[in-house]
Amino acid sequence: MNEQQRSEHIRLATDLFSQSLTYIFPTRDSGLQKEAIQHLETLLVHNAVVKVAAVNDGNEDFANLCLGIEAVAAALRAEISMWLLLKQDRPEAAWEELVTAQNGICRRDQGTQGIRTSRRSC
């Protein structure tokens, strides 16, 4: 993967993160929240392929950045899921998603300095 492709991957991820932040509130439309989750899941699949390529290329810095992207995407997916579950009156499952979201942000903070899109930190 060349520098331009790496930059494009980072740009696409950070753009999706910025868009996804608009859906981490209970007042957002559930259908749009589900769509945002699907986009994040697509990113997670693509990012896994990119991360493997970075490891195979010996690019440890970019592989670590991909690990950070994975953590943020998983955290955003979990936080949006939490709100959907609360809307469905499923507080126990929502609690699990909250913990997942918090753990994802902690992983991001520990894994890389390259991703700083969340408003929270550990």
67's CB contacts (< 8 A; 6+ apart) are 51, 107, 111, 112
CA 109 – CA 92 distance, rounded (Å): 26
Say how many C-beta atoms besides its own lie within 10 A of residue 79's C-beta: 24
Are residues 75 and 101 in contact, defined by beta-carbon separation less than 8 angstroms?
yes
- How confident is the model over 12-51, as pLDDT tens digits? 999 999 999 999 999 999 999 999 999 999 999 999 999 9
Please tell me the pTM assigned to this model.
Answer: 0.85
Check whether 122 has a pLDDT greater than 80.
Answer: no
pLDDT at site 102: 87
Check whether 118 has a pLDDT greater than 50.
Answer: no
Check whether 108 has a pLDDT greater than 90.
Answer: no
